[in-house]
Structure 1
């Protein structure tokens, strides 16, 4: 398959490296020092389960230089870059192209669809903890290695099943969902909670989820997300809070959410689409969400970075 990875950070870099190693024609879209390092030295994925070294791999900051549409675009940019990145991928999106949205949050697929059309977009949830360790190098820090994706209309398409098989052959778990919106909200229960807490507290998972009082707060944050989803007509899994709690306790002790790393580096943060989205949807739907609203208000001054 011909695959473009739009956003060669932790998520895009992790899955893109595995697919490239498996023999697929992968092009990473990056910028700045990261792009120059990939062009000069290739791409390296490092982690406890072994490294992947790609001495030579496609890398660009301008997809207009590619000669034709590709089979798959893994769309893994920050949420605040959604619309601009959607415009940037138009040259490689053809009638048969799948654009799998692997962004954080729950509103990315619909925002992307307004730019490139609904028929091209699949929703997706990535389960991996990884970040750019240095230009040209991505490091993963957890045992999680899974992607779930599906058509926005709920059909289980042949194209989705074919890419699922390619992912599995490349060495990571993959599932096709017949209700990707519910799957996104299932992930969002812990995602919004973990991002908000570890960023607000400036503490890693090992200190956050071993404190009984903070753990009680985490459960309240999770309940708020489930309540907003229910009010919006989304049926999350019946045991999602219990599973989210168990997963939070399995995180590596030193793990932070990616939003914390962005805050620490003075970069823009995605809180408007995480706790901020919960706060806005809660207000619209008449669902009280005081804890996520507090996190949103506390982190709102840092939305645009330092």
Structure 2
């Protein structure tokens, strides 16, 4: 497979590096100092699962300079989705399929406004990884998983080929026959983790251990479950309790990319996380007081300090 990684930060940089190290033809799309460092010194990944150095990565700042490709992995920040989606049309017209491993539930709807829906494969990722320095990705913990699948539930050749690529690259992977539900299940946890860690300014450990903040975390996730069910997603009413138990299983020091961005003065994905839940609630006339409050608390930080 010839693969393009569009957005080479924590998610794209990590998984792209594993695929490149396994011998796959991977082109990284990056910009700024990160791009310069990758060109000069390669792409380094520090991980408890083993460090990687892609010494001479194929890297560009123009996704359409790579010609014909089989698969595009989208991992840019959510506010860039609209602009990059428009740039994908030439690649799709030449036969490329697209999987977004971005956060949230809005991503594929935005992509489908610019490229044919049949070119989109649904996907979610589970990892804690960030750009710790230009050209350097740091992976925290041992969780690194990709789940993906066709929206019609079929097991297509393109999905099977990418699954085999992940296996060869030592990436934990799973094919789902109900990827829409999986995306919303991830969204429940993601909104809970990002909303609480960013608004409380602490990693998950202290939040889950204190009775007050633990209940706050549960209620944040419970609001997302109500929204999901109202939108027709197959999900148990008690799924927030399931995700709370999952929160007990992850490292105490784990935090969210939104908390990391807040601490570093970067722009936040808030409008598509707790802010997005509050917006769904307003549209559906469903109260989402916890997520609405998180969105209000963090409003002044949305655009970052940079």
Counterpart in 2 of 1:137?
A: 136
RMSD: 1.5
Q: Which 5+ residue runs of structure 1 have no aligned equivalent?
A: none
How far, CA to CA, are the matches of 1:271 and 1:210 in structure 2? 25
Q: Which 5+ residue runs of structure 2 have no aligned equivalent?
A: none
Alpha-carbon shift at residue 268 of structure 1 (Å): 1.2
Q: TM-score, normalised by structure 1?
A: 0.95
Q: Is the 8 A contact 2:43 2:54 kept in 1?
A: yes
Counterpart in 1 of 2:60?
A: 60
User: Quick check: 1:191 aligned with 2:190?
Assistant: yes
Q: Is the 8 A contact 1:225 1:278 kept in 2?
A: yes
How far, CA to CA, are the matches of 1:226 and 1:63 in structure 2? 36
Q: Is the 8 A contact 1:125 1:184 kept in 2?
A: yes
Counterpart in 2 of 1:10?
A: 10
Counterpart in 2 of 1:84?
A: 83
Alpha-carbon shift at residue 237 of structure 1 (Å): 5.2
Matches within 5 A, 1:119-158: 119-158=118-157
Counterpart in 2 of 1:24?
A: 24
How far, CA to CA, are the matches of 1:28 and 1:240 in structure 2? 37
How far, CA to CA, are the matches of 1:25 and 1:251 in structure 2? 33
User: Quick check: 1:105 aligned with 2:104?
Assistant: yes
Count of aligned residue pairs for this structure pair: 305
Q: Is the 8 A contact 2:39 2:57 kept in 1?
A: yes
CA shift digits 1:131-183 (9 cap, x unpaired): 00100010110221111112233332221111111111210111121221111
Matches within 5 A, 1:1-306: 1-66=1-66, 68-236=67-235, 240-306=239-305
Alpha-carbon shift at residue 55 of structure 1 (Å): 0.7
Q: TM-score, normalised by structure 2?
A: 0.95
How far, CA to CA, are the matches of 1:265 and 1:90 in structure 2? 34
Q: Is the 8 A contact 1:164 1:176 kept in 2?
A: yes
How far, CA to CA, are the matches of 1:276 and 1:155 in structure 2? 33
CA shift digits 1:54-84 (9 cap, x unpaired): 1111111012322x22111110011100011
Q: Is the 8 A contact 2:225 2:237 kept in 1?
A: no
Alpha-carbon shift at residue 244 of structure 1 (Å): 1.4
